[in-house]
Structure 1
């Protein structure tokens, strides 16, 4: 009897030791992440695309180039047309400057004639000049005043005409500049720009291949933080609330687990049948609620890996 008691006690201790490695959790699920499929924004041959699956890419990094030679030529043609338009414009300064110099000469002559008029009027009072001399000076003054008025009108008219002519030319330039901006936007879309920091999961295209707008190039996800999508029954749903911290476990081997701290950020408001990854008929028939838990990844968590959670 004593031997049987010792044997039973030993088996109990072994069982207790084995159960010590087990953890009691409230739900289980699979680790996942928000995956982004990056597509081409232009048609053409892929000139460079050096990324590999597993590479970590920075946000907004240029990681490839699509051939945009024809589009670049289109932009150069538009720029050449704009340059030709600018050569058609007229600079009003030389023509107006010439008239202004004539105006200065006319005003100088007018001042001289006004002085001569004053002198002749004084001589006429002293009977040293004739009325005809004074009349001739007055006629010259009147002529100069008319010439000055015409010169001023000519300056204003030339300035207005040239401005109108140039405005017509510049009105053709504005649409061309908008076209150049649109073409430049198409050229910029030939660069393959990574939209977020993350790890390349799948590469769908290779350098040298032809691509089209909307064709998938690669899939990327940020694995710094992953999501455990777990399912809880209605009876356990009362244990869960948004913003709640919880313990998350990943399987590290035989009866070994790696522990993480997670935060609940989503609780489904509708029940659903247990996912079909659960193969037994009874468990598939249970109604459960999806719960998403955000977990900081230390590099060991992989997408598709099973995890468990304790609230």
Structure 2
């Protein structure tokens, strides 16, 4: 009986040893890069017809904030621009009239100066015609100065119009990547605000299995290394997938573990990511194993 007991212990020991050789090198969970899309403009969400799990593409419009106020503001600014620009037309007409007046007065001025040289005109006549010329020239100078003021006013309106049009463009909430809608934080009709999260997107075509390895294992791991990834098929079987080491942490970190001894409970490890193509079987948060 004692000998039989010893044989059973030896057999169990052999099975345990065989099982340890087949164990994976590291364990972890699948994750992906997630992007939070936020609103840039405050207003009511008047369009938001996406659902969880929808496939979206980069630049696709996901939602629309109410544009009524901005559209009216742009209309008002365009009307102001038109009104200010019309002032330049009137000023050009004034300039032409003043230039013609100066031209005619110049002829009269030359005649009076010539008569004065021949002693046929008085000094008073010369002073009068010269004074009129100075008045007309100052009027022309003043009119031309008003062009500068109008142009400056138009520049201000152009800047305000550009700001309003930029805000109008930002009313469209667009996707920042190709991916899948993972979370919705708002619903149609709710008030959006700058920086307020609207949706969370993620790329599920490839997922990263984040695992932690010890310093002893690190020497055998290289970037772009092909590895075997295992996921649960059922309670007793695994499925094998092909993965590639895409990232290795350059710094060690402490990872708490539920182990009895203090020495093993906090252990120095390195994070490693294995990129795996997703054929639909992988989900975010799913556990996985890797053999290097």
TM-score normalised by L of structure 2:
0.73
Distance in 2 separating the partners of 1:42 and 1:106:
60
Matched residue, 2:158 = 177
Matched residue, 1:197 = 178
* Alignment equivalent of 1:256, drawn from 213, 238, 241: 238
- Decide whether aligned partners of structure 1 residues 55 and 103 sit closer, same or farther in structure 2, where only a CA change above 3 A counts: same
Q: Please give the root-mean-square deviation of Cα atoms over the aligned residues, in Å.
A: 4.0
8 Å CA contact 2:106–2:133 kept in 1: the answer is no
Matched residue, 2:221 = 240
8 Å CA contact 2:209–2:276 kept in 1: the answer is no
Distance in 1 separating the partners of 2:103 and 2:137:
16
8 Å CA contact 1:99–1:151 kept in 2: the answer is no
* Alignment equivalent of 2:260, drawn from 254, 276, 281: 281
Distance in 1 separating the partners of 2:276 and 2:131:
85
Structure exhibiting the larger radius of gyration computed from Cα positions: 1
- Decide whether aligned partners of structure 1 residues 287 and 76 sit closer, same or farther in structure 2, where only a CA change above 3 A counts: same
**SS of equivalent to 1:304:** coil
Matches within 5 A, 1:55-204: 55-91=54-90, 93-95=92-94, 97=96, 159-204=140-185
Matched residue, 2:126 = none
8 Å CA contact 2:60–2:175 kept in 1: the answer is yes
Establish whether residue 291 from structure 1 lines up as the match of residue 260 from structure 2: no
**SS of equivalent to 2:231:** strand
**SS of equivalent to 1:89:** helix
Alpha-carbon distance, 1:186 to partner: 2.2
Distance in 1 separating the partners of 2:105 and 2:137:
17
* Alignment equivalent of 1:269, drawn from 251, 257, 262: 251
Matches within 5 A, 1:223-234: 223-234=204-215
Distance in 1 separating the partners of 2:105 and 2:44:
71
What CA deviation, in whole Å up to 9, does each residue of 1:205-245 have, x standing for no partner?
1112223332221111122232111011232222224x241
Distance in 2 separating the partners of 1:272 and 1:79:
62
8 Å CA contact 1:250–1:306 kept in 2: the answer is no
Alpha-carbon distance, 1:87 to partner: 2.4
Matched residue, 1:46 = 45
Alpha-carbon distance, 1:102 to partner: 7.6
Distance in 2 separating the partners of 1:164 and 1:230:
73
**SS of equivalent to 1:65:** strand
Matched residue, 1:309 = 290
Alpha-carbon distance, 1:198 to partner: 1.2
What CA deviation, in whole Å up to 9, does each residue of 1:252-295 have, x standing for no partner?
514232321312412251231345xxx44359615142323241
Alpha-carbon distance, 1:154 to partner: 8.7
TM-score normalised by L of structure 1:
0.69
Unaligned runs of 5+ in 2: 1-10, 109-117, 122-128
Distance in 2 separating the partners of 1:79 and 1:234:
67
* Alignment equivalent of 2:194, drawn from 213, 217, 230: 213
Matched residue, 2:114 = none
**SS of equivalent to 2:30:** strand
